[in-house]
Amino acid sequence: MVHAKRWILKKHFVGLPTNSDFELKKVELPPLKDGEVLLEALYFTVDPYMRIMSKSLKEGDMMMGEQVARVVESKNSAFPTGTIVVAPSGWTTHSISDGEKLEKVLAEWPDTLPLSLALGTVGMPGLTAYFGLLDICGVKGGETVLVSAAAGAVGCVVGQIAKLKGCKVVGTAGSDEKVAWLKKHGFDVAINYKTVKSLEEALKVAAPEGYDCYFDNVGGEFSNVAITQMKKFGRIAICGAISVYNRTGPLPPGPSPEVIIYKELHLEGFVVHRWQGEVRQKALRDLLKWVLEGKIQYHEHVTEGFENMPAAFIGLLKGENLGKAIVKA
């Protein structure tokens, strides 16, 4: 009999989550039925969206999320023992699946590349960057792109794809270490928004003509300032709003309607699950190819041990990660 360890939402978050909001439980899994597989987690992801999506859970539910897992027992011929998959199993060391929502890692995945990248640059965050920049913003060579939270899992890929497409890229981040990483990996300008005297002035100096595309990962007051710097007919891909996820008081006012109207801006929110099937597979193959060619560099912020899932999640929401936040089982 297999026992699984699971992290449960003990109580709903108020402001920044704390360790006492979570509870570690052990459950016994039933024997496999025909068509099912038993998964053992190898890597877990923690992502900002979990802070918002946790509101849909009941207290006592398991935390949601993807993991890279190995099939350790199978009664499903499509997923023989040993198969590596990305699974939406949540914060659990072991799980049973009927195979329906499992995705095998790309067949061409080389042994030299960490499997954890299937949760990052060649996974959901990479796809978010790819479709947000290329489809929502419709970026073209020669344009100027602004990326907030540019050293995060999504932002660092956005900036590098924009450079691949021939754009000027300005990225913002919250520490000198992150700014140095951005400069090292091709960003034309990198700004520590926490230390500049005036964010408005810093953005203006970085791109005096304004921005064609803004990839928004943070929302809040930052984005209100950024939107005033857009060129006429600028496009804004609204991916996240991490700056306001832990707020307990009223949200800040939104961007100026006058700026949006008279600059004729296009703002679109999006969730990456919109893109499925072959278009999604092509994007994954493109991302893998760019990584293997060295055109996209990656950085992982790895926390060791399933018992440290809450700490990794809290650290992510505090901005402690550079690149993708991963927990190694």
Q: What is the mean pLDDT of residues 43-66?
A: 97
The token pair that represents 17 in the structure block: 């989550």
Instruction: Say which amino acid occupies 240.
Output: G
DSSP 227-284: HTTEEEEEEEEE---GGGTT--SPPPP---HHHHHHTT-EEEE--GGG--HHHHHHHH
The pLDDT confidence band at residue 1, using thresholds 50, 70 and 90, is confident
DSSP 41-60: EEEEE--THHHHHGGGSPTT
Give residue-wise pLDDT tens across range 267-299: 999 999 999 999 999 999 999 999 999 999 999
Percent pLDDT > 90 in the chain is: 97
Q: Are residues 148 and 96 in the same domain?
A: no
| Residue 324: predicted pLDDT | 97
Q: Are residues 143 and 33 in the same domain?
A: no
Q: Are residues 33 and 83 in the same domain?
A: yes
Q: Are residues 265 and 239 in the same domain?
A: yes
Least confident of 44-53, 82-91, 104-113, 247-256: 247-256
Residue 310 domain flag? yes
Instruction: Say which amino acid occupies 148.
Output: S
In eight-state DSSP terms, residue 306 is G
Q: What angle do CA 197, 200, 201 make, to 5 degrees?
A: 65
Residue 277 domain flag? no
Residue 290 domain flag? no
Q: Are residues 214 and 140 in the same domain?
A: yes
Q: How far apart are CA 8 and CA 57, in angstroms?
A: 10
Q: Are residues 250 and 313 in the same domain?
A: no
Residue 92 domain flag? yes
| Residue 251: predicted pLDDT | 87
Q: Which among 48, 73, 67, 71 is positioned nearest to 7, based on CA atoms?
A: 67
| Residue 252: predicted pLDDT | 87
Residue 284 domain flag? no
Residue 313 domain flag? yes
CATH of the domain at 224: 3.40.50.720
Q: Are residues 140 and 245 in the same domain?
A: yes
Q: What is the mean pLDDT of residues 171-183?
A: 97
Whether the CB-CB separation of 163 and 169 falls below 8 Å is answered with: yes
Alpha carbon of residue 279 to chain centroid:
19
Which segments of 20-148 are extended strands (E)? 22-28, 37-45, 67-74, 84-87, 94-97, 103-104, 144-147
Q: What is the mean pLDDT of residues 291-312?
A: 98
Q: Are residues 161 and 194 in the same domain?
A: yes
Domain count, the chain: 2
Q: Within 10 Å of residue 247's Cβ, how many Cβ atoms?
A: 13
Q: Are residues 132 and 209 in the same domain?
A: yes
Asked which of 225, 255, 272 is the last residue of a domain, the reply is 272
| pTM for the structure as a whole | 0.96
Mean pLDDT, all residues of the chain: 97
Residue 262 domain flag? yes
| Residue 56: predicted pLDDT | 96
| Residue 192: predicted pLDDT | 98
Alpha-helix residue ranges (DSSP H) falling in 91-248: 124-131, 155-164, 176-184, 199-206, 220-227
Q: How far apart are CA 153 and CA 104, in angstroms?
A: 21
Give residue-wise pLDDT tens across range 226-274: 999 999 999 999 999 999 999 888 988 889 999 999 999 999 999 999 9
Q: Are residues 145 and 268 in the same domain?
A: yes
Q: What is the mean pLDDT of residues 132-152?
A: 98
Q: What phi, psi does 276 have (nearest 5°)?
A: -130, 180
Q: Are residues 73 and 195 in the same domain?
A: no
Whether the CB-CB separation of 204 and 185 falls below 8 Å is answered with: no
| Residue 72: predicted pLDDT | 98
Residue 281 domain flag? no
Q: Which residue did the predictor score with more confidence, 254 or 188?
A: 188
CATH of the domain at 16: 3.90.180.10
The domain of 202 spans 124-272
Q: Are residues 152 and 268 in the same domain?
A: yes
